[in-house]
Amino acid sequence: MLCDATPTGNFERRWMPYGMTIADITLVAFTLCNSLRVVAYLPQIARAAADRSGAEAISLWTWGLFLVSHASATAYALVNKEDWTMASVFLGNAIGCGAVLLITAWKRSRHRGRRIEEPA
């Protein structure tokens, strides 16, 4: 893999696999990693849904920040880049974060309700 940087900092293709540029490779890596991340939410969602102790180990602040980050990245992709593919990847991540947050809030609410109903 040989490539040269131009004075502006852009990479020009000399030889890359399948005629791909550095930009092509980074786009494939970005799309692959973020698409897999959408699937990676499923085990967390399943664990939160099966949890019987109010999903105490899940940080609402952390997952809330992830949700806001993905939502802002979705908006950036649409408004600044007009890139629907990138936006849909970030939207998928935002939906995964939202699912974790909703399940966690629901589990905590139910767990609190059970603790209040239990006699001391």
Q: What is the pLDDT along the chain (120 residues), one digit of tens a residue?
A: 444 445 555 555 555 667 889 988 998 898 899 889 989 999 999 999 999 999 999 999 999 999 999 999 999 999 999 999 899 999 999 999 999 999 999 999 998 877 676 665
The number of angstroms, rounded, from the C-alpha of 96 to the middle of its chain's C-alpha atoms is 7
Answer yes or no: are the C-beta atoms of 54 and 112 closer than 8 Å.
yes
Residue 27 has a pLDDT of 85
Say how far apart CA 47 and CA 86 lie, in whole Å: 28
List the alpha helices (DSSP H) in 1-120.
Answer: 22-50, 60-79, 84-117
Residue 114 has a pLDDT of 76
Answer yes or no: are the C-beta atoms of 3 and 13 closer than 8 Å.
yes
The total number of residues shown for the chain amounts to: 120
